[in-house]
Structure 1
Amino acid sequence: METIQIEDKDFEILLENDQINKRTRLIGIQLNVDYETRCPIIIGVLNGSFMFMADLLREIDVACEIAFIRVSSYNGTSTTGSVKEAFGLPDNLHNRDIILVEDIVDTGTTLKYILEKVHSQQPSSVKVCSLLFKPSALLEPIPELEYVGFEIPNEFVVGYGLDYNGLGRNLKDIYRATIPA
């Protein structure tokens, strides 16, 4: 099994790029069906979602607008439990259909923060699309989590937009730490 090293950690392959591409294509098809007569605002959560969002947008045929929000709640391999917003949401979400695109949902702390900000603008609908979901790490249910690429164990992962101390985002596959983080 292929392993890589980033700084002081070893990682092994979890999801190959082919698997990611196939699942992204299926999510894109579902979004095309669900939003066929609407024009959603698709908001990527930076930095992690950029690769998934770019590939997902290539699969979406419906009219849509694109925006980004950047938030952070990580320190190394663990969430800090508090969220700091680096740059924020568009201010024109009222009566619009919103799709938030995440790289990963684990505790849900960051996502709850973003959803609170989005809902305060009274959009018509809000759905979350996440490439990865760690159900065992989730602290409370997130009803808006509608589109999930892969459910994974509560392990630290890197690659395809996800990083370890800023490194590894450029990897085309997703790797998991060989020793729990």
Structure 2
Amino acid sequence: MKQIQIDKLHFELFIDYEQIQKQIRLMGIDISLQYADKNPVFIGVLNGCFMFMADLMKEVTIPCQLSFVKLASYEGVASQGTIQQLLGVGMDLKGRHVVIVEDVIDTGNSLKHTIATLQDLEVASISVCALLMKPDCLVHQFDEDLLVGFEIDKEFVVGYGLDYNGQGRNLPDIYKNFSL
């Protein structure tokens, strides 16, 4: 599909599934090399990361563990600026190497919250693996290693785990919003 509509918003194809998969393969190789002897824990930030994390983990070839956290900061198409942790990690992370898996880094508020929480748990290291990042939207700087699949402008995107009011997560491609 070249264009889709969710509620009253119109979207056009932005990044197709094949491009996404090629980038994820490269990211998996990079992570496998970087963490070859560290048995990292991958922490996926739900709900948006579920497709990305599933495909990424298929490309990571080293021993590792995974868990999830669920945060909420969006309402409609806008970040609300406040973070609510809805579901915790559920495992002891003290002394572990952690890779945070994000669908998209927008303002960085959610990521900052997640990093601060992990630092309080005395992890050995923290890095971030994100499918998308919007550099022009960032309000925070990060010292952690960032592995980013695609840098995009301020477009509002759906598909491949990303949603608009809960819809569109199931689409294999990524679409960006446009006006008619």
Equivalent position amino acid for 1:35 in 2: Y
TM-score, normalization by structure 2: 0.97
Quick one: distance in 1 between partners of 2:114 and 2:57?
21
In the alignment of these two chains, the number of paired residues is 180
Ranges of 4+ aligned residues in structure 1 off by more than 2 Å:
none
Task: Establish whether residue 143 from structure 1 lines up as the match of residue 166 from structure 2.
Answer: no
Corresponding residue of 2:114: 114
Task: Establish whether residue 134 from structure 1 lines up as the match of residue 134 from structure 2.
Answer: yes
Equivalent position amino acid for 2:60 in 1: I
Query: What is the root-mean-square deviation of aligned Cα atoms in Å?
Result: 1.3
Equivalent position amino acid for 1:151 in 2: E
Equivalent position amino acid for 2:126 in 1: V
Quick one: distance in 2 between partners of 1:89 and 1:73?
18
Equivalent position amino acid for 1:97 in 2: H
Contact 2:126–2:145 under 8 Å retained in 1: no
TM-score, normalization by structure 1: 0.97
Corresponding residue of 1:79: 79
**Structure 1: which 5+ runs fail to align?**
none
Matches within 5 A, 1:49-88: 49-88=49-88
Q: The residue matched to 1:111 in structure 2 has which SS?
A: helix
**Structure 2: which 5+ runs fail to align?**
none
Corresponding residue of 1:46: 46
Quick one: distance in 2 between partners of 1:91 and 1:37?
20
Contact 1:91–1:121 under 8 Å retained in 2: no
Q: Percent sequence identity over matched residues?
A: 44
Superposed CA offset, 1:75-111 (max 9, x none):
0000000011111123511110000000000100111
Superposed CA offset, 1:15-69 (max 9, x none):
0000000000000000010011110000100000000000000001100011000
